[in-house]
Amino acid sequence: NAGVTQTPKFRVLKTGQSMTLLCAQDMNHEYMYWYRQDPGMGLRLIHYSVGEGTTAKGEVPDGYNVSRLKKQNFLLGLESAAPSQTSVYFCASSYISRGETQYFGPGTRLLVL
Of 6 and 85, CB closest to other proteins: 6
- Cis peptide before 61, with omega less than 30 degrees from 0? no
Task: List interacting residues with other proteins (CB under 8 A).
Answer: 31, 33, 40-45, 48, 50, 56, 58-59, 88, 90, 92, 97-104, 106-107
Q: In terms of CB distance, is 3 or 16 closer to other proteins?
A: 3
- In whole angstroms, the minimum distance from the beta carbon of 80 to other proteins comes to 26
Q: How far is the CB of 47 from other proteins (least distance, A)?
A: 11
DSSP-derived 3-state class of residue 84: helix
Do the Cβ atoms of 21 and 105 come closer than 8 Å? no
**Cβ of residue 16: shortest distance to other proteins, in angstroms?**
27
* Residue 33 Cβ vs other proteins, minimum distance, rounded to whole Å: 8
88 φ/ψ angles, rounded to the nearest 5 degrees: -105, 130
Give the C-alpha separation, 76 to 60, whole Å: 13
Residue closer to other proteins (CB basis): 20 or 103: 103
Nearest CA to 112 among 76, 95, 88? 88
